[in-house]
Amino acid sequence: MKLVDKGDVLTVVDVKELGANNSDAFRDEVKAALPNGFKTVEIDLSQTNFIDSCGLGALIAIQKFATSHSGSVAVRLLYPMPPIQQLFELTRLHRIFEIVPRTHE
């Protein structure tokens, strides 16, 4: 995972998996970066092939922290693969997060 500063947007890239083994570190790193004046957090899920309940919990914790901290930072989930998109729909998290879908090539 890498954090990329794009002015007022924090982009999280290179997230291969988001599960019990790395979700706490993922959550803590993203939350630690948020007070730096960002207006949006974009989490690129285009390379993510696994998310478990701990990973979903980390995303929810980031969403809650972002919306209640430092002037309502928006959280966007970018380009999830179809199985990950289906997970968001099954858990109804697609109603909480702004999800930018993959484009069909």
pLDDT attached to residue 104:
61
Structure-block tokens of residue 18: 């988001």
pLDDT attached to residue 70:
57
Q: How many angstroms separate the first and last alpha carbons of the chain?
A: 26
| CA gap 88, 10 in Å, rounded | 22
Encode pLDDT of 70-79 as tens digits.
567 899 999 9
Nearest to 48 by CA among 92, 79, 8, 4: 79
φ and ψ at residue 85, rounded to 5 degrees:
-60, -40
Q: What is the CATH number of the domain that holds 18?
A: 3.30.750.24
pLDDT attached to residue 71:
64
pLDDT attached to residue 76:
96
105 found inside a domain: no
CA distances from 85 to 21, 61, 62 (A): 21, 19, 18
Average pLDDT over residues 84-91: 96
| CA 84 to chain CA centroid, nearest Å | 12
Encode pLDDT of 24-66 as tens digits.
999 999 999 988 888 999 999 999 999 999 999 999 999 999 9
17 found inside a domain: yes
pLDDT attached to residue 2:
95
Domain count, the chain: 1
95 found inside a domain: yes
Range of the domain at 78: 2-100
